[in-house]
């Protein structure tokens, strides 16, 4: 008789059955995601109870777990509360967030979603949870070639073609111990926004493209030793990433910008992992370097002044440019037990060093042009005069007006700020589990850490002069050092093979930092913000019924959120960050998986709710935010229902199909407003057909997302004079995917 397949994950840095973990974890097989033609992680997250995600454009994703949210702003640079990991390497910046990786499902081993703080094993990058990608490892003893081509067609949008190729090579021949796996993905992003501004009319302006390269070399000279070198790089480029719409209910068009919104980003990962196994223990060393670069320009005219008049010239635009780059070095060494039935243990050390540069500039386009002319005129004059007394005299005359006279354009800007900071984390951690007979399991762990952020920014321009007694440039650098302990304790009791309960208490934290705009007492903008941390308490029930054909899991949680960190806006509509005191979140998550009596038909139901709100009054700029205010970006509840059919493997043509419905509940857009976003549901369906007996095992997948073309706002940008702008969800989208496999 058929039963539900057991799922194994590496969420605790060792292979475990998902339903044996004393934690709420969701896992998705990479092959299953490919069969559904999924390209974006958002489509995965919306099926996960307790998790919501929005993305205005690639790289700007905002993920919320269990209601713990920094904010719904897509331009926020404060580190996310959710850790993004590829293997054991964190892709979060500890000081200023840059690019949020969104890997294609092609050639992924799995995606794991760990809800609740994971600070014991994953450190300061995992305040409220972890999104973890696991890449397929090379096979040292077999050839493999895989290819796919996928076309995406959104309603009233442009077509986009994505192709991918991966090759696995046994370098020393079949049966050898050295394998290389190399993959390449070329992705196009469809345009769905129309610019309807007079004189600038263009459809589907937000088209983009990007490449992703993956490579891994695995050497296994013996059963005890293996070494793996991994490389991953992904980029994105759009001449105009304009993502706003003028109306809440659509259409997806705008006349709210005077200029295009170019956007480019890149991230890279280099990892070297060594593992050596003895009979009873294993030593793992993981050394990683990550690199990120990002540039973005948006026109802030609408947010500051309202909808631009039809006759407004481009010179009235107010471009807001951000340019940042970061690198990090991470080293983790851990020793962990093997093959011990009664007691498991893991102990390790961790080091992170992450320098970052973050520049921002806000100015009128007319001043940008005039200051550029003035700056170049002065530079040409200095070059022509050379080293002379006249040059020295000009320096003396200009210095009181422009102390940095080689950067006149910044001195004439509304605001220029260059941030340079260095963040570090040092930690020792351990995790232990006792198996007291066949029924009771006790776990305890902790992470002892010290973090520091040293640096800040030098600011120039009008805003700096206003708050710095007329002096520009001004130095707003500082340093922060914090330390603490992240403990974790849990107990699991198994009544029998089908019913178990667990209780868990654990703590998570996130780096504090230095403000990326000038501190301003009049607007209550602080110069620095503290680390925020949460205590998570949860109770879980895992049950199996009908001879393992039905699984029903329920988890209830309570979170105490201390020094809660949120994103706010100053008078110039620039984000800043502040600790708002305490908050809390209560909720329930439920999952059901049922292998129905109908052969090959599986039903899954997922449901989650979160009531996240502040517990004390605080000042957001000049506005009082009362206790009980909902945290922004947190959906009150969500659910998904899916019905999948899997044909018999004995059929000449293997067939699978699915139909599903996903709903995301009402979400508040920011701390100071009663405006809400989300509150919509979508129907999705798809079919996959493959012929395993034919060379190449050709497979064709067809899918439709948002079948009824539901239009809803998933983000809001407040504008002056009531002219708000909206980020809308994706329209109905048709996808066709062809894949081939040779080995």
pLDDT digits (tens, 9 = 90+) for 641-669: 999 999 888 888 899 999 999 999 988 88
pLDDT number for residue 513:
77
The answer to whether residue 735 scores a pLDDT higher than 90 is yes
| 458 in Cβ contact with 486 (< 8 Å) | no
Among residues 61, 22, 58, 34, which one has the least CA distance to residue 45?
A: 61
> Does the pLDDT value for residue 494 go beyond 80?
yes
Higher pLDDT, 371 or 601: 601
Fold of the 8-294+314-326+333-363+413-742 domain: Maltoporin; Chain A (2.40.170)
- Between CA 125 and CA 508 the distance in angstroms is 9
Domain borders along the chain are 8-294+314-326+333-363+413-742
Instruction: Report d(CA 613, CA 625) in Å as an integer.
Output: 11
Please name which of 155, 74, 217 lies closest in space to residue 569, comparing C-alpha atoms.
74
Q: Which tens digits make up the pLDDT trace of 687-703?
A: 999 998 888 899 999 99
CB atoms within 10 A of CB 193: 26
**Predicted TM-score (pTM) of this structure:** 0.88
Residue 306, pLDDT above cutoff 80 = yes
pLDDT at 404 over 50: no
Greater pLDDT, 448 or 23: 448
pLDDT-based confidence at 75, cuts 50/70/90? low
Each as own residue / partner, the long-range contacts of residues 477-480 (CB below 8 Å, 24 or more positions apart, any chain) are 477/514, 478/514, 478/527, 478/528, 479/452, 479/453, 479/454, 479/455, 480/452, 480/453, 480/454, 480/512, 480/513, 480/514, 480/528, 480/530
Residues whose CB falls within 8 Å of the CB of residue 41, separated by 6 or more in sequence, listed in order: 53, 61, 102, 103, 111, 131
Lookup result for tokens 């980029």 = 235
Rounded Cα distance between 632 and 99, Å, is 21
pLDDT > 90? residue 44: no
Question: Per-residue pLDDT averaged across 521-547, rounded?
Answer: 87
Q: How far apart are CA 681 and CA 640, in angstroms?
A: 9
pLDDT at position 419 is 84
Helix or strand or coil: residue 96? coil
Q: Which single residue is written with the structure tokens 């109908």?
A: 598
| pLDDT for residue 383 | 58
Q: Which has more confidence, 373 or 434?
A: 434
Q: Are 60 and 75 in contact (CB under 8 A)?
A: yes
The whole-number pLDDT of residue 529 equals 81
How far apart (Å, rounded) are the C-alpha atoms in residues 115 and 79? 17
Q: Is the pLDDT of residue 374 over 50?
A: no
* Mean pLDDT lowest among 22-26, 105-109, 347-351, 513-517: 513-517
Q: What is the mean pLDDT of the chain?
A: 85
Q: Quick check: 370 pLDDT over 60?
A: no
């Amino acid at each position: 008789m058929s039963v539900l397949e057991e799922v194994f994950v590496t969420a605790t840095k060792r292979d475990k059955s998902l339903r044996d973990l004393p934690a709420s974890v969701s896992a998705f097989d990479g092959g299953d995601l490919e069969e559904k033609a999924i390209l974006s992680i958002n489509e995965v997250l919306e099926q996960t109870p307790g998790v919501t995600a929005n993305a205005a454009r690639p790289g700007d994703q905002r993920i919320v777990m269990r209601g713990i949210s920094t904010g719904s702003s897509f331009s926020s640079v404060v580190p996310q509360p959710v850790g993004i990991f590829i293997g054991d390497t964190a892709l979060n910046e500890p000081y200023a967030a840059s690019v949020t990786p969104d890997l294609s499902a092609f050639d992924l081993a799995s995606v794991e979603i760990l809800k609740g703080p994971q600070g014991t094993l994953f450190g300061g990058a995992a305040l409220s949870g972890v999104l973890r990608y696991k890449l397929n490892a090379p096979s040292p003893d077999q050839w493999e070639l895989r290819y796919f081509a996928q076309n995406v067609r959104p309603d009233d949008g442009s077509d986009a073609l994505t192709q991918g190729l991966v090759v696995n090579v046994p370098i020393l021949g079949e049966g050898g111990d050295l394998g290389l796996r190399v993959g390449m993905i070329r992705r196009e992003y469809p345009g769905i926004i129309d610019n309807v501004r007079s004189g600038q009319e263009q459809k589907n302006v937000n088209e983009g493209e990007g490449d992703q390269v993956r490579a891994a070399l695995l050497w296994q000279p013996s059963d005890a030793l293996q070494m793996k070198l991994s490389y991953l790089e992904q980029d994105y480029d759009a001449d105009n990433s304009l993502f706003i719409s003028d109306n809440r209910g659509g259409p997806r068009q705008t006349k709210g910008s005077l200029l295009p919104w170019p956007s480019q980003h890149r991230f890279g990962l280099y990892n070297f992992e060594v593992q050596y196994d003895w009979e009873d223990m294993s030593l793992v060393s993981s050394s990683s370097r990550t690199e990120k670069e990002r540039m973005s320009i948006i026109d802030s005219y609408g947010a500051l002044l309202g909808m631009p008049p039809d006759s407004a010239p481009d010179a009235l635009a107010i471009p807001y440019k951000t340019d940042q780059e970061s690198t990090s070095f991470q080293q983790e060494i851990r020793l962990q037990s093997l093959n011990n039935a009664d007691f498991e243990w893991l102990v390790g050390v961790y080091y992170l060093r992450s320098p970052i540069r973050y520049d921002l500039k806000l100015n009128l386009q007319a001043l940008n042009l005039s200051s550029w002319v003035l700056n170049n005129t002065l530079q040409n004059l200095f070059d022509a005069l050379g080293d002379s007394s006249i040059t020295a005299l000009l320096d003396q005359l200009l210095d009181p007006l422009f102390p940095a006279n080689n950067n006149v354009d910044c001195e004439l800007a509304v605001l220029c700020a260059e941030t340079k900071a260095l963040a570090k984390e040092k930690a020792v951690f351990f995790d232990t589990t006792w198996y007291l007979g066949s029924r009771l399991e006790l776990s305890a762990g902790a992470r002892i850490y010290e973090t520091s952020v040293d640096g800040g920014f030098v600011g120039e321009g009008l805003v700096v002069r206003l708050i710095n007694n007329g002096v520009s440039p001004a130095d707003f650098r500082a340093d922060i050092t914090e330390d603490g302990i992240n403990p974790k304790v849990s107990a699991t009791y198994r009544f029998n093979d089908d019913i178990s309960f667990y209780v868990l208490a654990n703590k998570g934290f996130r780096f504090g930092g230095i403000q990326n705009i000038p501190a301003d007492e009049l607007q209550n903008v602080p110069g620095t913000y503290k680390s925020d941390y949460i205590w998570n308490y949860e109770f879980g029930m895992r049950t199996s019924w009908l001879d393992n054909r039905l699984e029903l899991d329920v988890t209830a949680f309570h979170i105490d959120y201390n020094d809660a960190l949120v994103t706010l806006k100053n008078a110039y509509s620039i984000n800043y960050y502040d600790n708002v005191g305490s908050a809390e979140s209560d909720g329930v998550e439920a999952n059901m998986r049922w292998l129905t009596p109908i052969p090959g038909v599986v039903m899954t139901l997922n449901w989650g709710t979160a009531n996240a709100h502040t517990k004390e009054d605080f000042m957001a700029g000049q506005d009082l935010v009362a206790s009980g205010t909902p945290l922004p970006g947190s959906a009150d509840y969500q659910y998904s229902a899916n019905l999948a059919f899997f044909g018999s493997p004995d059929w000449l043509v293997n067939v699978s199909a699915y139909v599903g419905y996903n709903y995301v509940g009402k979400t508040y857009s920011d701390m100071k407003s009663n405006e809400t976003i989300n509150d919509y549901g979508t129907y999705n369906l798809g079919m996959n057909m493959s012929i395993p007996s034919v060379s190449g095992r050709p497979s064709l997948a067809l899918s439709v997302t948002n079948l009824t073309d539901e239009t809803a706002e998933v983000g809001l940008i407040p504008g002056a004079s009531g002219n708000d702008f909206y980020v809308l969800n994706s329209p109905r989208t048709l996808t066709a995917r062809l894949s081939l496999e040779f080995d």
